[in-house]
Structure 1
Amino acid sequence: MSADITAGPATGAATNAFPRYEQTFPALTPPEIERMRRFGELRSYKDGEALFETGKQGPGMFVVLSGDVAITQRDGLGHVTPIVDQGPGQFLAEIGQLSGRPALVDGHAEGDVETLLIPPDQLRALLVAEAELGERIMRALILRRVSLIQGGAGGPVLIGPPSLGDMARLQNFLGRNGQPYHMLDPATDKDAADLVARYAASRAELPLVVIADGRVLRNPSEPAIAYAIGMIGDHNHEKLYDVAVIGSGPAGLATAVYAASEGLSVAVFDSRAFGGQAGASARIENYLGFPTGITGQALTGRAFTQAQKFGADMLIPVSINSLDCSRPDGVFALATDCGKTMRAKSVVVASGARYRRPEIENLAKFEGRGVWYWASPIEAKLCMDQDVVLVGGGNSAGQAAVFLSAHARKVYMIIRGGGLGASMSRYLIERIEATPNIELMFNTEVVGLEGDAEAALARLRWRSRLAPEEHTIDIRNLFLFVGADPATTWLEGCGVMVDRGGFVVTGTQCTQKDGRSASPLETSVPGVFAVGDVRSGSVKRVGGAIGEGAQVVAALHGFLADSMKPAL
């Protein structure tokens, strides 16, 4: 995405501003630079010349050989903030340069500057070939992106009331995809108020989103803002990939990491963000190797970066509308929502499941306006010191309830059944029972929602399943964790067998038209595999999904090798 985000100044004050300064901004030694020369080419710049510019495609990683480069930050409102000067032995890049994404900052030469420019493909090669040096560089790239996100000054500017549902929608989208952004409230910021008066004729056009080049978007969709900030580039649609992975949850990310690291060309598609439902988890405590727990965003974010390190193309947000399995050349054609067709020799279905929407009156009306299907710090801030209702009795619901209890005044946890033992891990049950501001309401269901004058959720109606009377409670935030349905409608018409619930059938449970024996993760269509929650019989756990993502790569190698054999 960018060149160097904030390569900290060489002053003591700057060092104090970055607790992990030495790791975030390491200095390269002359021998290390010499080893890096074979991966790049020399580039010289005159005084004032731009090495990279905000919003324009980044050329890769620069290693400064002589001279100084001034790094500044610029937003679409014309604000320019000096960040730092970088000198010899320092490198200019952040995690986005693994795939040549648009820069988030400007870099201009101060005097004559000589650099070694390492383009994205060679940067990835460097990280793999030079393991120890690559580890230091990779850690720095990640920490720089984290610093930019936490700095709250870069990326697109979101302008609107903080309580606006569509503000939360765009915050979630950008945050889930690891994209920096910052917000301005027109009630307290004059520049923001002036822009609202100029561009937003009605509240429905809020929030405004100001891109680095000055463009103003009115309450954009997620794909619209993604295209505007360069999340989705101009990929070569003529390329024939070895593997197309549909879905970037834990199973899809694991497939991408293992397949790309073993030399297969991989394209990963997801309609919203990497991580899937696991990425929205406030804390995962039963995943191997993390005894103190880890957020879903942190776990899947590492895998997302790892997949890019090995060269996987991450196309997010891009939806696959249909899969054509009938081509005589054996190549699969995937129709995308942007009107393009991608091609692959094999397909891994890792599309997971979509949030289930229970039968609640006026539910659709309040989605994004008080009804949420995940619980992140963004939603937690919206319900600070308020009473909230959470519906669900599984592990995701339990994790969300515990997380929200630290922010909300009270969490009413509504469960249709008579207990939690059959659907929730014991450690979560014990934690919920020990949390004083979580109230469990068994044999209960929400039946209707009502709003206020601004069309935001204001109250809900609920009833006991053991009695007919309805009750009303004033609530501005409702969280739904009632399970999910498989995301498989895009497979209709291509011959992939699904069970009665819509989950993809694999292995010995299905038969193939050519008489081949399907491998354990292969579907009824040769060359189409399924992993993770979308697969019939999967265990619906993060660890299981990751294991299947790793396991399927061996089957992919076998299929691709067989498909290259000449017919007898």
Structure 2
Amino acid sequence: MAEAPGPEGPRPILLTVDDDPAVSRAIARDLRRRYAEGFRILRASSGAEALEALREVKLRGERVAAVLSDYRMPQMNGIEFLEQAMDLFPGARRALVTAYADTEAAIQAINVVDVDHYLLKPWDPPEDKLYPVVDSLIETWRALGETTVAETKVVGHRWSAPSHAVRDFLARNSVPYRWFTSDSPEGRRLLEAAGAGDDDVPLVVPPSGTPLKSPGLAELAQAVGLSTEPSGEFYDLVIVGGGPAGLGAAVYGASEGLRTLLAERKATGGQAGTSSRIENYLGFPDGVSGSQLTERARRQATKFGAELLTTRDVVALRAEGSARVVEFSDGSRISAHSVVVATGVSYRRLAAPGVEELTGRGVFYGSAATEGPSCAGSDVYIVGGANSAGQAAVFFSRFADRVVILVRGSGLEASMSHYLVEQLAGIPNVEVRTCTEVVAAHGEDHLERLSLRDSATGEVTEVPASYCFVFIGAAPMTEWLDGLVLRDAAGFVLTGPDLLVDGRRPAGWNEDRDPFHLEASVPGVFVAGDVRSASVKRVASAVGEGAMAVSLVHRYLDRS
């Protein structure tokens, strides 16, 4: 029998899920008989109920040692449940409980969601058929060193841009935190304990207990345990940008033996990481959130040994002999044999009076999912007509009274995927206003009203609004590459065949070959994802280009 953990906080949890009440009671009874002294036994009657329980456990910072789920359940089968449970507790061990006729499902579960074991019903006697499996799950869980999730506390003002920036940073980096407004009883207690006042918010109390007053993101990242410093000075591959293309390159680079480092200035995932639901990504028929996809990719990259740095802003890239030198904003440098540029794009700023002043105080760029619950009872305005805007509208429709999509064109069909257009049409509290643009934002402490212009008639109307989320255009973040690589008129980086003019290679090219397909005008510098000129602006293509870039890096290194 596996030894039960010692007294290090609340007892870890063994969770069982089965929609048959008799079976549910029986397995819980057998588990309590053997493990009640060291573990807390929870049971749920459906996948949805179990996920809700896991979310509450996550918020409380407790540990889950193992999850045992029945396969045949309505609405959500055991494989689908375990796949979502992985995102909440990736370290928990997983077992599928099946009937003999469902052993194929168990094999599928092992391949799809990395299930550790499967159990056949009935498991009588448990000493032979249940307990050895659970003992193995517990032993594996303990060997991997799963620990209590420490809680970070954030105190701030509701309509504060710095407070929003801190919450958004923590959420996008999958750091568990609890939010308190500065005027709440607990918020006031935390401020008083830290010797802080209203001018010191946001106040962050990390697991160490040392309070941070209005911290910068780099200071915050270090305090919550994110990696910010490289372990070495020279790498085989340095990746700049942590969106889908960068994460794809990190996974393939590290898994193929390259010493790989990824530097991201804010949070991995890029724009895709803020998407509430991506429903056309291969292999996820029920959709996947951007944060779930990002967290899985991040775990996968680090499993293979890639270093992932956050809050590292790359400001320059230089070619020094055979080395490619990356310079950070603090003046430090690292070198590599090769570099993959995967900085993606940023949303263009909305050029209208009042918008800049109210950014972070009602006006947000991107989905800002942390604001979802706060939108309850409000009207939400979404500016933009591409997929990211549509996904945000679906997400905020769960909270807001009404979601209004503002589109400059005559419809959504030209810029949004068909499945999203149809989905939006079926949501009763989503409205689409075409030929409409925001010409001004108004408010004192936060957004209160928007001025909208009908481009067909020229009429300007003013509407009450507390929330406006902007998804317009795509601006490449390539200023740091000035003077090094060739870019097109819009700033996207030219690569491969696009660098050849009348068959001639770009000026300064010193190789006896044409540039590889994803290679920039400097040998050894590759480009993947949205930042590349003429790229397909989709998550799947970005991931594919990240993988393809690594294969080209190998070809480059083999010739060097």
Summarize the Cα distance change of 1:140–1:450 in structure 2 as closer, same or farther, 3 Å threshold.
Answer: farther
Report the TM-score, using the length of structure 1 for normalisation.
0.72
- Does the residue aligned with 2:308 lie in a helix, a strand or coil? strand
- Does the residue aligned with 1:365 lie in a helix, a strand or coil? helix
Counterparts of 1:461 and 1:350, CA distance in 2: 36
> For residue 378 of structure 2, what is the aligned residue in structure 1?
386
Indicate conservation of the 8 Å contact 1:252/1:350, yes or no.
yes
Summarize the Cα distance change of 1:471–1:318 in structure 2 as closer, same or farther, 3 Å threshold.
Answer: same
Indicate conservation of the 8 Å contact 1:388/1:408, yes or no.
yes
> For residue 506 of structure 1, what is the aligned residue in structure 2?
495
Summarize the Cα distance change of 1:346–1:138 in structure 2 as closer, same or farther, 3 Å threshold.
Answer: farther
Summarize the Cα distance change of 1:283–1:332 in structure 2 as closer, same or farther, 3 Å threshold.
Answer: same
> For residue 532 of structure 1, what is the aligned residue in structure 2?
529
Counterparts of 2:194 and 2:116, CA distance in 1: 51
Q: Could you list the per-position Cα deviations for residues 59-90 of structure 1 after superposition, in whole angstroms to 9, with x for gaps in the alignment?
A: xxxxxxxxxxxxxxxxxxxxxx997999xxxx
Summarize the Cα distance change of 1:312–1:401 in structure 2 as closer, same or farther, 3 Å threshold.
Answer: same
Counterparts of 2:64 and 2:408, CA distance in 1: 60
Q: Which sections of structure 1, spanning at least 5 residues, go unmatched? A: 21-80, 87-130, 149-153, 564-568
Aligned counterpart for 1:220 among listed residues 197, 205, 215: 215
Indicate conservation of the 8 Å contact 1:356/1:482, yes or no.
yes
- Does the residue aligned with 1:346 lie in a helix, a strand or coil? strand
> For residue 279 of structure 2, what is the aligned residue in structure 1?
285
Aligned counterpart for 1:16 among listed residues 41, 47, 50: 41
Summarize the Cα distance change of 1:212–1:299 in structure 2 as closer, same or farther, 3 Å threshold.
Answer: closer
Superposed displacement of residue 160, structure 1? 2.5
Superposed displacement of residue 437, structure 1? 1.1
Is 2:461 aligned against 1:465?
A: no
Is 2:559 aligned against 1:562?
A: yes
- Does the residue aligned with 1:287 lie in a helix, a strand or coil? coil
> For residue 23 of structure 1, what is the aligned residue in structure 2?
none
Counterparts of 1:136 and 1:436, CA distance in 2: 46
Letter of the aligned partner of 1:408 in structure 2? A
Indicate conservation of the 8 Å contact 2:380/2:403, yes or no.
yes
Counterparts of 1:486 and 1:560, CA distance in 2: 28
Is 2:408 aligned against 1:419?
A: no
Letter of the aligned partner of 2:257 in structure 1? G
Letter of the aligned partner of 1:437 in structure 2? N
Letter of the aligned partner of 2:280 in structure 1? N
- Does the residue aligned with 1:532 lie in a helix, a strand or coil? coil
Is 2:387 aligned against 1:406?
A: no
- Does the residue aligned with 2:380 lie in a helix, a strand or coil? strand
Superposed displacement of residue 324, structure 1? 1.1
Counterparts of 2:61 and 2:517, CA distance in 1: 56
Is 2:366 aligned against 1:369?
A: no
> For residue 258 of structure 2, what is the aligned residue in structure 1?
264
Superposed displacement of residue 166, structure 1? 3.2
Summarize the Cα distance change of 1:376–1:191 in structure 2 as closer, same or farther, 3 Å threshold.
Answer: closer
> For residue 154 of structure 2, what is the aligned residue in structure 1?
158
Is 2:247 aligned against 1:253?
A: yes
Summarize the Cα distance change of 1:206–1:145 in structure 2 as closer, same or farther, 3 Å threshold.
Answer: farther
> For residue 477 of structure 1, what is the aligned residue in structure 2?
467
Q: Could you list the per-position Cα deviations for residues 444-469 of structure 1 after superposition, in whole angstroms to 9, with x for gaps in the alignment?
A: 100111113xx211111111112333
Letter of the aligned partner of 1:554 in structure 2? S
Q: Could you list the per-position Cα deviations for residues 138-193 of structure 1 after superposition, in whole angstroms to 9, with x for gaps in the alignment?
A: 9959x998984xxxxx3322113445443332122111111122233443325734
Indicate conservation of the 8 Å contact 1:416/1:442, yes or no.
yes
- Does the residue aligned with 1:508 lie in a helix, a strand or coil? helix
Counterparts of 2:418 and 2:61, CA distance in 1: 52
Is 2:211 aligned against 1:207?
A: no
Q: Could you list the per-position Cα deviations for residues 518-554 of structure 1 after superposition, in whole angstroms to 9, with x for gaps in the alignment?
A: 1111111100000110111111111111111111111
Map 1:45-444; keep pairs closer than 5 Å: 148=149, 154-162=150-158, 164-189=160-185, 192-193=188-189, 195-196=191-192, 199-203=195-199, 205-238=200-233, 240-325=234-319, 327-328=320-321, 330-444=322-436
Question: Where do 4+ consecutive residues of structure 1 move more than 6 Å?
Answer: 4-7, 81-86, 131-139, 143-147
Q: Could you list the per-position Cα deviations for residues 377-413 of structure 1 after superposition, in whole angstroms to 9, with x for gaps in the alignment?
A: 4211121120111111111111111111111000111
- Does the residue aligned with 1:546 lie in a helix, a strand or coil? helix
Counterparts of 2:291 and 2:522, CA distance in 1: 33
Q: Which sections of structure 2, spanning at least 5 residues, go unmatched? A: 1-7, 14-34, 46-59, 66-113, 118-135, 500-504
> For residue 545 of structure 2, what is the aligned residue in structure 1?
548
Indicate conservation of the 8 Å contact 2:228/2:310, yes or no.
no
Summarize the Cα distance change of 1:159–1:524 in structure 2 as closer, same or farther, 3 Å threshold.
Answer: same
Summarize the Cα distance change of 1:357–1:136 in structure 2 as closer, same or farther, 3 Å threshold.
Answer: farther
Letter of the aligned partner of 1:262 in structure 2? E
Superposed displacement of residue 341, structure 1? 0.6
Superposed displacement of residue 562, structure 1? 1.3
Superposed displacement of residue 439, structure 1? 1.4
Q: Could you list the per-position Cα deviations for residues 101-153 of structure 1 after superposition, in whole angstroms to 9, with x for gaps in the alignment?
A: xxxxxxxxxxxxxxxxxxxxxxxxxxxxxx99899799959x998984xxxxx
Indicate conservation of the 8 Å contact 2:61/2:148, yes or no.
no
Map 1:492-503; keep pairs closer than 5 Å: 492-494=482-484, 496-503=485-492
Summarize the Cα distance change of 1:480–1:411 in structure 2 as closer, same or farther, 3 Å threshold.
Answer: same
Superposed displacement of residue 7, structure 1? 6.8
- Does the residue aligned with 1:448 lie in a helix, a strand or coil? strand
- Does the residue aligned with 1:159 lie in a helix, a strand or coil? strand
Indicate conservation of the 8 Å contact 1:253/1:549, yes or no.
yes
Report the TM-score, using the length of structure 2 for normalisation.
0.73
Indicate conservation of the 8 Å contact 2:347/2:366, yes or no.
no
Summarize the Cα distance change of 1:139–1:357 in structure 2 as closer, same or farther, 3 Å threshold.
Answer: farther
Letter of the aligned partner of 1:509 in structure 2? D
- Does the residue aligned with 1:268 lie in a helix, a strand or coil? strand
Counterparts of 1:346 and 1:322, CA distance in 2: 15
Q: Could you list the per-position Cα deviations for residues 416-462 of structure 1 after superposition, in whole angstroms to 9, with x for gaps in the alignment?
A: 0011111111111111122121111111100111113xx21111111
Counterparts of 2:223 and 2:439, CA distance in 1: 40
Counterparts of 1:445 and 1:523, CA distance in 2: 37
Indicate conservation of the 8 Å contact 2:191/2:197, yes or no.
no
Counterparts of 1:353 and 1:145, CA distance in 2: 36
Superposed displacement of residue 265, structure 1? 0.4
- Does the residue aligned with 2:372 lie in a helix, a strand or coil? helix
> For residue 48 of structure 1, what is the aligned residue in structure 2?
none
Summarize the Cα distance change of 1:11–1:186 in structure 2 as closer, same or farther, 3 Å threshold.
Answer: farther
Counterparts of 1:194 and 1:15, CA distance in 2: 31
Superposed displacement of residue 347, structure 1? 0.4
Count matched residues: 444
Summarize the Cα distance change of 1:160–1:145 in structure 2 as closer, same or farther, 3 Å threshold.
Answer: farther
Counterparts of 2:326 and 2:350, CA distance in 1: 31
Letter of the aligned partner of 2:352 in structure 1? I
Q: Could you list the per-position Cα deviations for residues 306-329 of structure 1 after superposition, in whole angstroms to 9, with x for gaps in the alignment?
A: 00000000011211011112x13x
Counterparts of 1:182 and 1:15, CA distance in 2: 24
